[in-house]
Homo-oligomer: A and B are copies of this chain.
Amino acid sequence: MIKGLDDLLKSQFNIVISDKSLLDEAFTQASYVNEHPHQNLKFYERIEFLGDAVMQLVVSEYIYRRYPKLPQGRLTRLRAAMVNEDSFASFARECHFDQYIRLGKGEEKAHARERDSLLCDIFESFIGALYLDQGVEPVRAFAAQVIFPKLDEGRFDEFFDHKTELQEVAQQHGPVAIDYELLSEDGPENDRAFKVAVKIDGETLGVGVGHSKKNAEQSAARQALVKLNQDHA
């Protein structure tokens, strides 16, 4: 058993995996297995294959339901922004999974533990282990804690156009007036700060700041979307 991993999962995510061998498999790289040939160990790759498919479904379903007007092309782009090596490696680090990977000595020396590709793999193999142990519902709960809030925090903003989205969501039941109003603009030339409000039919639903007017507008639109989604929840 991997020391401390159980405690981490319990304290951070309230997850208790019954089948500890699944956890061991999910956090063990082939290099470690090769260095311990007599322990009959398994490495994470097969379980990662499954975890990847589980995560694709859980993210797809979440954005499908959350953005009922988003066309397929934009759903696909948003999913690609959420499900990729970069973001999964970040999630793995935020969950402190990097500290629990079992690596061979050579890989350890080569700083594999900091490598995005490995961290992404381990994040997926953890998902695979959780799914095999408990089914899809706990994976959804984990994603709701680790991944989905990042949407509202703007983590995927560069892939996602909040102004267009706000237009789609706000006009779901008919046309409304959406206006962006510059509230202030200050700071030195090389560090301007813009403050923008977005109003829907005259009511201010969000205020955003940014180093450009465009960024401030996107940020205001994002806020308005959070508000609209709360109102509809």
Shortest CB distance A157–B (Å): 21
Measured in the bound complex, the distance between the Cα atoms of B49 and A136 in whole Å is 19
Measured in the bound complex, the distance between the Cα atoms of B64 and A48 in whole Å is 11
Shortest CB distance A171–B (Å): 15
In the bound complex, residues from chain B placing their C-beta under 8 Å from that of A61 are 50, 53
Query: Which secondary structure characterizes the binding site on chain A?
Result: helix
How many residues on chain A are close to B (CB under 8 Å)?
19
In the bound complex, residues from chain B placing their C-beta under 8 Å from that of A72 are 45-46, 48-49
Measured in the bound complex, the distance between the Cα atoms of B69 and A45 in whole Å is 12
Shortest CB distance A23–B (Å): 17
Q: Does A224 contact B (CB under 8 A)?
A: no
Measured in the bound complex, the distance between the Cα atoms of B45 and A75 in whole Å is 10
A-B contact pairs, 19 of them (CB 8 A): A45-B71, A45-B72, A46-B64, A46-B70, A46-B72, A48-B72, A49-B64, A49-B72, A49-B75, A49-B76, A50-B60, A50-B61, A52-B60, A53-B53, A53-B57, A53-B60, A54-B57, A56-B56, A56-B57
